[in-house]
Structure 1
Amino acid sequence: MKQISLIALLFICLISTNIFAQKNKKLDIIAYYTGDSKLIDEYEVNKLDQIIFSFCHLKDGKLSVDSPKDSITIKHLVSLKAKNPKLKIVLSLGGWGGCEPCSDAFSTADGRLKFAKSVKEVSDYFKVDGLDLDWEYPAIEGLPGHLYQAVDKPNFTELLKILRSTLGKKYELSFAAGGFQKYLDESIDWKAVSPLVNRINIMSYDLVNGYSKVTGHHTPLYSTNPKEESTDRAVEFLLKAGVPAEKLVIGGAFYTRQWKNVENINNGLYQAGEHFQGADFKNYATTYTEANGWKYFWDDKAKAPYWYNEGTKTFATSDDIKSIKAKTEYVKSKKLGGIMFWELTLDSFRDGMVNAIYEVKTSK
């Protein structure tokens, strides 16, 4: 009898351990994707939990797939679910320059309902799993010239309410949230919004952006001083605002931001400069080389890399394999919902950033 009880106890422990291990690995890897129907097949899609097609836009107040090419791409993305049933395909509305009519279109109940009905029609047609709202930004300035108004904040809440009621409980709803303090403070009613969405994708990159005349970490995990924006700062703010940890997804950047005319002080970090186009992760190994004059640095406080070229007085900042692994460990330790990134076509086909995230996700 004692032997049977012991075996039963061991069995229960084994089951519990497996459940805990599975729960511990519930960390979604979410890819924004701007490529076509063929390029996606080059990537290790089996390591992804969600692909967010980027972007759809507003046309006459309705969700619009912009071209036949986009339609083909979305249909192909949905077909990937046959081999990978856990994969979710989500449509994204907007982007940095893609939500110019949003403030006006979502300013009335009729406008919001019209949009919600169009989302249902498009989602049913393509058989996608959800919608990601990438409105940059409600209530504060985004792209210069785009309309924004204080009423955007409550209108955003009402928009999510009508989307949820129109699309049902099983439909995936998320939004791309600015990771900087002004957005966190002014754009969103966090207590009202968080029960309505599956996840909040924090854009914890571009925290030092193309408008900045001073260099810095554009996607650091931690702040190195009280005034510096960072991933952790945004996460802690949202946790304190009552957003459940499992609904928070942090962001990784698969691209650099660069500045020129940067003096060799502090290896170019926190110095004056002129921003210009950066490089994609898949090209780092051939771009940021010693032969090209670049030196690599690691800020252990920020958990972020940067590069400086003394010869050309050029500075670069981004995520890399080391920092994206640190971010993924952070997600695990904080029991957050996952990690997303901008964007998949910037990665290597194999042994790149996605693989680094996946390795940490599946490690003990």
Structure 2
Amino acid sequence: MIAYYAGDATAFRPYPTQKLTHIIYSFLHLKGTSFAFDKPQDQATVAALVALKAQHPQLKVLLSLGGWGGCETCSEVFATYQGRMAFAASVKEVLTATRTDGIDLDWEYPAVAGPPGHRFTPEDRHNFTLLVQALRTTLGNRYEISFAAGGFREYLQHAVEWPAVMPLVDRVHLMSYDLVNGYSTTTGHHTPLYSTPQQVPSVDDGVRFLDSVGVAPGKVVIGAAFYARVFRGVPNRQQGLQQAGTFKQAVNYRDFADSLSAARGFAFYWDEVAQAPYAYSAQRQEFATFDDAQSLQLKTRYARKKQLGGIMFWELTGDKPQGSLLKSLYQAAQ
């Protein structure tokens, strides 16, 4: 049960962190060839997370590199032996100094297009393997190494040398969200459990691909979303599903009662094929795609049935205080 966390030194306090196995602080970035905090208060946040381990001995705190828009120089730095080794040495220094438990690589993306303007080359694929090898050699087995993987086929097929990488890492975190995203021009489910005739990318599609290339199920962690993606200019057909639209904004689950309210015209629906909820407001011509308690319970049961490594989600503070969605995940996992 893995939470990504992008809050400050106090925002996690209302949430039931005792239900988590991992918190991944997001994000650190490259400063030259070094793994570095952006500002001093980020180190204070990590110290506060590490302090939770005194109360919850099972908890591990990892530090994440990159994120969307946060790995602009990754392709260049990790293209050389010197860059990879300098980075790996700096990771060990940071993990030792912060008393954290490992690194999560969120390079978006090796070898395939990520944020506009970010360099990507075919060589990134093998360089990612070499990066993971450098990290494991430098860190030994004391620290965990995981990485976030795009949940779409172009990434899965072209970004990672799966047979070479997976024996060296503890987990792959399948980003089975944002499958409909800010660049999409047709509405759909951004984090569906199953594919539909209109939309192939899904949790199940990603898991099936990883199984087909020999990734051990126990190292696969599937993703859930504690936020909605809202599209505007969506015509009133099929409750807005699979219609033309323009991305408007992301809305955290904790704000659904206001942003996706009946007063704004939103009605909620369920796609039996995708096993995913959605909402549409005819008066505003807006469509929303998200996870809810039911879809999270189904994802958790799926992970148990497939004997996967677990579930991760973006992002802890998107939940309602006291952890409504986190509790749904936890209860379904028991």
Q: CA deviation at 1:227?
A: 5.1
Q: CA deviation at 1:351?
A: 4.7
Aligned partner (choices 187, 205, 209) of residue 177 of structure 2: 205
Q: For 2:137 and 2:230, how far apart are their aligned partners in 1?
A: 44
Give CA-to-partner distance per residue, 1:95-136, whole Å, 9 cap, x none.
Answer: 001000100000011110000000000000001000000000
Aligned partner (choices 65, 79, 83) of residue 111 of structure 1: 83
Q: CA deviation at 1:279?
A: 1.3
Q: Does 1:262 align with 2:221?
A: no
Q: Does 1:36 align with 2:8?
A: yes
Q: CA RMSD in A?
A: 0.9
Residue type of the partner of 1:314?
E
Tell me, which stretches of 5 or more residues in structure 2 are unaligned?
none
Q: Do the aligned partners of 1:297 and 1:305 also contact (CA within 8 Å) in 2? A: yes
Q: Do the aligned partners of 2:188 and 2:199 also contact (CA within 8 Å) in 1? A: no
Q: For 2:278 and 2:199, how far apart are their aligned partners in 1?
A: 19
Q: For 2:71 and 2:295, how far apart are their aligned partners in 1?
A: 31
Partner of 2:151: 179
TM-score by length of 2: 0.98
Q: CA deviation at 1:287?
A: 2.6
Give CA-to-partner distance per residue, 1:135-178, whole Å, 9 cap, x none.
Answer: 00000110000011010000000000010010011310000000
Say which SS state the counterpart of residue 40 (structure 1) adopts: coil
Partner of 1:88: 60
Q: Do the aligned partners of 2:191 and 2:290 also contact (CA within 8 Å) in 1? A: yes
Partner of 1:221: 193
Aligned partner (choices 25, 36, 48) of residue 64 of structure 1: 36
Residue type of the partner of 1:123?
L
Q: For 1:92 and 1:152, how far apart are their aligned partners in 2?
A: 19
Aligned partner (choices 183, 197, 216) of residue 244 of structure 1: 216
Residue type of the partner of 2:216?
P
Q: CA deviation at 1:286?
A: 2.8
Residue type of the partner of 2:305?
S
Aligned partner (choices 65, 68, 71) of residue 99 of structure 1: 71
Q: Does 1:140 align with 2:112?
A: yes
Q: CA deviation at 1:226?
A: 7.2
Aligned partner (choices 120, 127, 132) of residue 155 of structure 1: 127
Q: For 1:265 and 1:127, how far apart are their aligned partners in 2?
A: 53
Q: Do the aligned partners of 1:278 and 1:316 also contact (CA within 8 Å) in 2? A: no
Partner of 1:3: none
Partner of 1:194: 166
TM-score by length of 1: 0.90
Residue type of the partner of 1:309?
S
Q: For 2:263 and 2:13, how far apart are their aligned partners in 1?
A: 33
Partner of 1:279: 251
Large movers: runs of 4+ above 4 Å: none
Q: CA deviation at 1:292?
A: 2.1
Say which SS state the counterpart of residue 279 (structure 1) adopts: strand
Q: Do the aligned partners of 2:221 and 2:310 also contact (CA within 8 Å) in 1? A: yes
Q: For 1:121 and 1:278, how far apart are their aligned partners in 2?
A: 35
Which one has the largest radius of gyration? 1
When the two structures are aligned, how many residues end up with a matched partner? 334
Q: CA deviation at 1:60?
A: 1.1
Q: For 1:286 and 1:272, how far apart are their aligned partners in 2?
A: 25
Tell me, which stretches of 5 or more residues in structure 1 are unaligned?
1-28
Percent sequence identity over aligned pairs: 50
Q: For 1:170 and 1:232, how far apart are their aligned partners in 2?
A: 32
Partner of 1:55: 27
Partner of 2:321: 349
Partner of 2:283: 311
Q: Do the aligned partners of 1:253 and 1:341 also contact (CA within 8 Å) in 2? A: yes
Q: CA deviation at 1:185?
A: 0.7
